[in-house]
Structure 1
C-alpha cells in the first residue's frame, strides 16, 4: 500500500525551456563541451550544500578566461518550466490522501528559484532538496534521511525519477522506484501511478 510518492524535478515534473547546452558552450571560443563539463563538476559540491554555486561558476569563468558575465552564465539554470499536467496529477493524488513530496538534487541558487520564486513548495506536502539535506541522489543515505523525516516505512513509498542510478539507490533501501521521463508523455506517468493503484 503506497501512502507517499517522491517526485524528482528535472525530467519528471519540469523540462528545459531553452537549449541551455548550446548557450553554455558558446561562452568560450573553443572546446565548449569541456567548459560545460568543468561547470558541471564545479556545481557538484554545492548540490550537497558545500560551497557557493555562484562563486564556483565565477571561478570557472575566470579559469577559462570567458568574457561572459556571471549573471549571464547563471541564466541557463533558470530556463525550466513545470509541466502543468504533472502538477495537476500531483494535486489529484494529494486530494486522494496520498502524500506527495519533491526529492531533487539542486544547489541553493536553483532551489531559491524553484521554492521561493516559483512556488514549488505549494505543490507538495514536503520538499527535499539535496543542498538542504547535505546528501544527494543516488546515495542511499539521501533516501534514508527522507524516510526518517516522513516517519513511514520504505515499503509504503514510491519514488519516480528519470535517472536509472537514482532509482537503483532508492530501491537499495527498500523503496518502490520507477524510471519515468517527461519526454515519454504525461499519459505514461498516469499509467505508472495506476499500476500502483494510486489513481
Structure 2
C-alpha cells in the first residue's frame, strides 16, 4: 500500500477537550442526576448528529423531562461550547499541512456545536476539508460515515489515515479501507507521530 497523503482527525479527545467532562459540566443544574441525564441525551441524539433534528429542541425536551429550570441556550453555552483546544494537537495540524499532507476534520457533531467549532474555534480555516456528521447524514462508527468522508475529501480510502479516541470508530474506518490509529491526546504526541509514521505519514518528508 502506498504511503498515505491525508490525515482525518477526530475532534473530541483528539483535537479538543471538555474540561471536567460532560457529567461535571451539567452537575450544577442536575446534581446527582447528571450522569443519567447525559446518558439519556446520548441515547437519543443520533437524529441530531445526522442533521435530521435540532439539538436545542432535543435538549429542551430532556430538561423538561427532568424538570430543570434553566434556559436551553444557557446550558448549551455553559457546557457544549466549553471546549478547550489541545495546543499540541493543533500544532501537529500545522506541521502536517506544512509537510504537504491534506489534513481534515472527521467528527460527530450537531449543527449548533459545529457552528461554534467552525467559527469561534477557527476550524474552517484550520482544515482542508471538514466532515461533520450532520452534513454527511451518517454518524461514526457507521461505515457510511467514512465512505462519505473520503468521497468529500476526493481521494480513495487507502490514501487516508484516520485518528480517533474511540476504538469502534477506528475499526469501522479500517473496515472500509482507511488506515486507522486509536489515540487520545492524553497518550502524548510522540505516540501519535510514531503511529502515523507506520502509515507513511512523516513530518520530515
TM-score range, shorter chain: over 0.9
Deviation at 1:30, TM superposition (A): 4.9
Report the equivalent of 2:69: 67
| Rounded Cα–Cα distance in structure 1 between residues aligned with 2:154 and 2:126 | 20
CA deviation map 1:75-134 (0-9, x unaligned): 210111111221111111111211110000000011000002221111111100001111
Deviation at 1:158, TM superposition (A): 0.5
- Is the 8 Å Cα contact of residues 6 and 160 (structure 2) preserved in structure 1? yes
1:36 counterpart (32, 35, 38):
38
User: 3-state DSSP class of the match of 1:89?
Assistant: helix
Report the equivalent of 1:104: 107
TM-score, length of structure 1 as denominator length: 0.93
- Is the 8 Å Cα contact of residues 181 and 196 (structure 2) preserved in structure 1? no
1:5-44 equivalence runs, <5 A? 5-28=7-30, 30-44=32-46
Instruction: Pick which of 68-77 and 54-63 moved more.
Output: 68-77
2:130 counterpart (103, 124, 127):
127
After the TM superposition, which parts of structure 1 deviate over 4 Å for at least 4 consecutive aligned residues? none
- Is the 8 Å Cα contact of residues 51 and 137 (structure 2) preserved in structure 1? yes
1:145 counterpart (135, 145, 148):
148
The total of aligned residue pairs comes to 199
| Rounded Cα–Cα distance in structure 2 between residues aligned with 1:18 and 1:72 | 18
- Is the 8 Å Cα contact of residues 105 and 131 (structure 1) preserved in structure 2? yes
Instruction: Pick which of 66-75 and 51-60 moved more.
Output: 66-75
1:29–1:156: structure 2 CA closer, same or farther, 3 Å change rule?
closer
Report the equivalent of 1:180: 183
- Is the 8 Å Cα contact of residues 161 and 167 (structure 1) preserved in structure 2? yes
- Is the 8 Å Cα contact of residues 42 and 57 (structure 1) preserved in structure 2? no
User: 3-state DSSP class of the match of 1:148?
Assistant: helix
Q: Does 1:92 align with 2:127?
A: no
Structure 1 residues not aligned, in runs of 5+: none
TM-score, length of structure 2 as denominator length: 0.90
Q: CA RMSD in A?
A: 1.6
